[in-house]
Amino acid sequence: MRSFDEIYAISADRHGGPEALEDKLSKPDPKVSGLPEDRWLATMTKCIFQAGFNWKVIEAKWDGFEEVFHGFDPGPCAFMPEDEFDRILSDTRVVRNGAKLATVRQNAAFLMELRDQGGAGQVLGGWPSSDYIGLLDMLKKRGSRLGGNTGQYAMRFAGRDSFILSQDVTARLIAEGVIDKPATSKTALKSVQSAFNTWMGQSGRSLTEISRVLAMSC
């Protein structure tokens, strides 16, 4: 496995040098622990709907989603009466996918359950980056449709420190001998986390930055 500096050099060479590469690196939001519940729910829902759909279509309808789901306030969403939900299923302001629409209620309840642990901001935003795969596993088990890349994108778009196992990141991980195929098993994900932890230690950078560097090295 190459050092972070070696992989960074590959990425910089392919993107016009270190300065140009740095301009393309995103960083986690240092205030993510203060993100309110409704924005966590909104971000989760948008990522759930973007999975398998044209992202532009979801974006174009997003104001409608916000209106229909009360600004994604977890209380009204979690305790939504059946007749209201039935009306949403035929509401043209949203994408009428019943299974995905149902996740709003389910994930609203999930976020409310986190209040006993300090709230969504503290649990999701404050989860140690060195155990990011633990957070992803928790999202998969306790959330609705938040497994795989959907949970990863939701965390990234919410602003928390994260890696996304995109095709390019996966290709670099395979090239470095970290995994031999896309990481889906717990063993493979542990190997991925271990590699990221090593690169964090070498560079002092976040998962988000390292993930972007890996992606741009391919």
Both 9 and 87 in one domain: the answer is: no
* Contact partners, residue 190, CB within 8 Å, separation at least 6: 133
Q: Are residues 140 and 195 in the same domain?
A: no
Judge if 109 and 128 occupy the same domain.
yes
Q: At 120, is the secondary structure helix, strand, or coil?
A: helix
| pTM score | 0.96
* Residue among 74, 111, 104, 75 nearest 89 (CA): 104
- Do 118 and 142 belong to one domain? yes
Which stretch of DSSP H or E encloses residue 158? helix 148-158
Q: Domain check: are 124 and 70 in the same one?
A: yes
Average pLDDT value over all residues in the chain: 97
Under the banding of pLDDT at 50, 70 and 90, the label for residue 211 is very high
Same domain, 13 and 113: no
**Cβ atoms of residues 50 and 153 within 8 Å:** yes
Encoded tokens for 125:
């935003």
Confidence band (pLDDT; 50, 70, 90) for 216? very high
Query: Quick one: pLDDT at residue 101?
Result: 98
Q: Is 46 within 8 Å of 58 (Cβ atoms)?
A: yes
Range of the domain at 171: 4-28+163-215
Assess whether 11 and 99 both reside in one domain: no
Q: What is the mean pLDDT of residues 98-112?
A: 98
pLDDT for residue 175 = 98
Q: How far apart are CA 137 and CA 154, in angstroms?
A: 14
Residue 112 maps to which CATH number? 1.10.340.30
Dist. CA 147–CA 141, nearest whole Å: 8
Domain match, 134 and 58 both = yes
The predicted pLDDT at position 183 comes to 97
Q: Are both 127 and 188 inside the same structural domain?
A: no
Domain boundary among 128, 158, 188: 158
What pLDDT does residue 110 have? 98
Q: Are residues 55 and 147 in the same domain?
A: yes
Is the domain of 54 the same as that of 145?
Answer: yes
Model confidence at 76, pLDDT cuts 50, 70, 90, reads very high
How large is the average pLDDT for residues 139-146? 98
What is the total count of domains within the chain? 2
Is residue 1 a contact partner of residue 179, using CB atoms and an 8 Å limit? no
Predicted confidence (pLDDT) per residue in 18-68, tens digit:
999 999 999 999 999 999 999 999 999 999 999 999 999 999 999 999 999
Contact assessment for residue 156 and residue 208, using Cβ atoms and an 8 Å cutoff: yes
Enumerate helices (H) and strands (E) in the chain, giving the number of each.
14, 0
Residue % of the chain over a pLDDT of 90: 100
Q: Which helix (H) or strand (E) is 58 found in, with range?
A: helix 55-68
How close are the terminal C-alpha atoms of the chain, in Å? 15
Close Cβ partners of 96 (under 8 Å, ≥ 6 residues apart): 89, 90
pLDDT tens-digit readout, 112-135: 999 999 999 999 999 999 999 999
Question: Whole-angstrom Cα distance, residue 180 to residue 107?
Answer: 33
State residue 130's pLDDT score.
98
168 lies in the same domain as 149: no
